[in-house]
Homo-oligomer: A and B are copies of this chain.
Amino acid sequence: MQHFIIEHIHLLPDGNRESVKKNCYMEVRDGIITELEAMPVPNDKPYSIPRIEGRGRWVLPGMYNTHMHTPMTLLRGTADDVPLKHWLEKEIWPREAKLNRSMVQAGTDLALAEMIRSGTVAFLDMYHLHMDLVFERTHDSGMKAVLSRGMIGFGDRAAWPAKLNEAVELALSWNEEGQGRIKGMLFPHAPYTCPPEFMTQITAAARENNLMIGTHAAETAGEVQDYKERYGRTPAVHLDELGFYEQQAVLTHAVHVSEEETTLLKKKGAVISHNPMSNAKLGSGTAPVGRFLEAGIPVTLGTDSSASNNNLDMFQEMRMAALLQKGVQMDPGAVRAEDIFRMASFNGAKLLGVDKDGLLQPGGPADFIMLDGDQPHLQPDNRMASHVVYAASGQDVTDVFVDGKRLMKDRELITIDEERVLYNARYWHEKLEQR
């Protein structure tokens, strides 16, 4: 039976200055937060319950990364400063064509280690190669995730049923594994890579099997323009006709989305995965986050893969999300710290099915992280809520708990052999470059 208390912590539940509570204790039992109070541990708590000293530590909900391609972490830094077409066709695809199972595993393990280190507790991922390995390694890491084998419908339509079948089978076979930590979903790569007929088959399969569905949409202006010329409507509108929004749907990127489409997305209950760093780095533009927020669409945050980010640090992603909106709109009030924090925490958690009511609450899952606040860049500390968004980075995280299980303790990974992961990443990356 898991049972412990963390004491003397500062609590930042939701990014609001007013919600910060100093010198709290939290009791955890069997993966659930049972008590959370802004006071010392009461005298009648037996000392037989193990206590973790949390002095100087800030306790936050974990980060929820809603867009990832974990195996691509092996391709970090492969090519920068080049246009998307060159990046994909000359650098990324030729390497992906050579990826073997060991390489996919090395990239996945590297991503899992990096995510836990930087305070991510759950993520949403799609990849098209050896995705079974991503399910397995994620399960073993102790993280939470919603995963999917990506689908692309170029070429032979006779291959569609097998692709769809494989994706559905994989999603169902892992669904709710790890006491519900792992979930499956469907993720057709994009409207422009999955013809309407294929997309219709996929959305039907999502409904039939009650699986969440996601896709890359409106990442670049050119992609939307081409799509309109080909199909006479935008991807977001066409997806509606193809039944995409009938299950819980997530649109990734959504950089070039009009006001009318925003209204449609709100009506259909779609969620956005906003990827500001990747969109900026690839020169795709800046998503209209202010418009999404105004319409009441839940915006979540994703890093995209390390090949276009180039790390998986959700704290840096939060900061960039805020600064890009303010800078581009030339309006310091374009988004507020608490909006950004909500994107990276609660909105993501809700999309991933982790928690629907709120985070860091008695009765809820014991998914949380601890930061070392005793560092110069996080002082003076009575502005904690601001510092978490505008000054912190993932490397301030010292401890990570998922369902009450400690995945990192004082900056040491518990479920992952980090030395081996770093060695394998170097080894298989060199092999890849030699091929």
The interface-forming segment of A182-190, A290-298, A388-396 is A388-396
A377 at the interface (CB under 8 A from B): yes
- Among B77, B78, B283, point to the contact of A332 (Cβ < 8 A): B283
A78, B380: Cα distance in complex, Å: 10
Write out the residue numbers on chain B whose beta carbons fall within 8 Å of the beta carbon of A421: 376
A143 at the interface (CB under 8 A from B): no
A334 at the interface (CB under 8 A from B): yes
Write out the residue numbers on chain B whose beta carbons fall within 8 Å of the beta carbon of A113: 376
The interface-forming segment of A25-33, A35-43, A158-166, A312-320 is A312-320
The smallest C-beta distance from A390 to any residue of chain B, in angstroms, reads 4
Q: Which residue of B lies closest to A84 (CB)?
A: B332
Interface members, chain A 379-435 (any B CB < 8 Å): 379-383, 386-387, 389-391, 393-396, 418, 421-422, 425-426, 429-430, 433
Which of A83, A277, A377, A426 counts the most B-chain CB atoms under 10 A from its CB?
Answer: A377
A6 at the interface (CB under 8 A from B): no
A147 at the interface (CB under 8 A from B): no
B379 pairs with A110, CB closer than 8 A:
yes
A46 at the interface (CB under 8 A from B): no
B376 pairs with A329, CB closer than 8 A:
no
Interface residue total, chain A, C-beta cutoff 8 A: 77
Write out the residue numbers on chain B whose beta carbons fall within 8 Å of the beta carbon of A387: 76-77, 310
Write out the residue numbers on chain B whose beta carbons fall within 8 Å of the beta carbon of A81: 332-333, 335-337
A374 at the interface (CB under 8 A from B): yes
B77 pairs with A376, CB closer than 8 A:
no
A280 at the interface (CB under 8 A from B): yes
B310 pairs with A280, CB closer than 8 A:
no
Interface members, chain A 27-84 (any B CB < 8 Å): 74, 76-78, 80-84
A326 pairs with B280, CB closer than 8 A:
yes
Q: Which residue of B lies closest to A329 (CB)?
A: B283
Interface members, chain A 326-367 (any B CB < 8 Å): 326-337
The smallest C-beta distance from A257 to any residue of chain B, in angstroms, reads 16
Q: Which residue of B lies closest to A337 (CB)?
A: B80
- Among B111, B316, B327, point to the contact of A324 (Cβ < 8 A): B327
- Among B87, B283, B380, B425, point to the contact of A429 (Cβ < 8 A): B380
Interface members, chain A 190-207 (any B CB < 8 Å): none
B377 pairs with A118, CB closer than 8 A:
yes
Interface members, chain A 292-311 (any B CB < 8 Å): 306, 309-311
Write out the residue numbers on chain B whose beta carbons fall within 8 Å of the beta carbon of A221: 330
- Among B83, B117, B286, B332, point to the contact of A281 (Cβ < 8 A): B332
Known: A74-B380, A379-B76, A379-B425. A285 touches B327 (CB 8 A): yes
The smallest C-beta distance from A255 to any residue of chain B, in angstroms, reads 10
- With A81-B335, A320-B323, A323-B324 known, 17 other A-B pairs at CB within 8 A are A74-B380, A76-B391, A77-B386, A80-B337, A80-B386, A81-B336, A110-B376, A277-B323, A284-B327, A285-B330, A374-B422, A376-B418, A376-B421, A379-B426, A393-B395, A395-B395, A395-B396
Subset of 5 A-B contacts with CB under 8 Å:
A76-B386, A77-B380, A280-B326, A376-B425, A379-B429
